[in-house]
Amino acid sequence: VSEVVNGLADALGSDRPLGPLGIMPVGTANDIVDTLGIPRHLDAAAQVIATGRTRQIDLGEVNGRLFVNNSAIGLEPFVTLIQQRFRRIQGPPRYLLAALRGIAARPRWNMRLEWDGGEYAGPVTLVAVGNGPRSGGLFYMAPHADPSDGRLTFVYGFRAGRLDLLRLLPRTMRPGPGSYVEMDGISEVHARWLRVRIDPSAPAHADGEVFAPAIEELEYQVLPARLQVLVP
C-alpha cells in the first residue's frame, strides 16, 4: 500500500487527494486493513472494492516519504531489520521473535524531539509515529491513533535495561486499558508535526520498510484527509 501511495503522489503530487484506493489483504501483518475494517478474505475484500464506498483518511509524511499506517525510529526499525533476516517464520510470530532479539541487544539513543505543543531531550529507546494504532500484526505502538483525526500520534520513551524492556513488551499488545503508554517514562502525544534529532544515528522505517538504516534528523507532518480508501 505504501509503495502505491508514494507512486501516486509522485505521479499526481502529494498536495492533492489520492485514490480511491482498493486494498487486497495479502500483506504479512495487514494492520491498516484491520484498522479500516476491510475483511481478510480475498473474495470479501474484492466485493468491498466493487461496492465503491470510500473513506478519507490522513497520510503521514517523513522526510518527503508518505506512509499510511506508521513510522518509527530506534527500537521498532531495529527489530524490523532483525525480522527481515528470518526466512522460515512468517506472520506475527516472526515479529515477536524479532522483538525478543531486539530487546536482548538493548539499544539506546539520545534524541531531541520538538512538536507543536512541546519538546523533549534525553535518552530514548523508541519513537513510534502512528497514523494507525497497530504495527507488526501484534503491537499497538500508538494505541490511540486515529487515521481520520487530522493528527499524528507518537509515543516516545526510554527503558535502560533488558528486564524493563521485557516488562514493556506484553503491554504493547494491549490496545485498551493497561497499554504500555500508561507506564512511567512512556509518553503518548497527538500532534500535527514532529522534528527529531538523534545521536548516535538510528534506523527509521515507514510502513515497515527501513528507508534509513542510520539517520540523524527526521521531519514528520500529517496530511489530513489526503487518501481515499474503499471500505465496507
CA distances from 111 to 65, 74, 81, 119 (A): 21, 10, 20, 10
Q: Helix and strand tally (H, E) in the chain?
A: 6, 11
Q: pLDDT (tens digit, 9 = 90+) per residue, 110-150?
A: 999 999 999 999 999 999 999 999 998 889 999 999 999 99
Question: Model pTM greater than 0.75?
Answer: yes
Residue 6 has what pLDDT?
Answer: 94
Cell of 168: 514493556
> Which residue stretches of the chain have pLDDT < 50?
none
Q: pLDDT (tens digit, 9 = 90+) per residue, 74-94?
A: 988 888 888 777 767 666 777
Burial of 99 (0-12, 13-18, 19+ CB in 10 A): buried
Residue 91 has what pLDDT?
Answer: 66
Residue 79 has what pLDDT?
Answer: 83
CB 147 within 8 Å of CB 35: yes
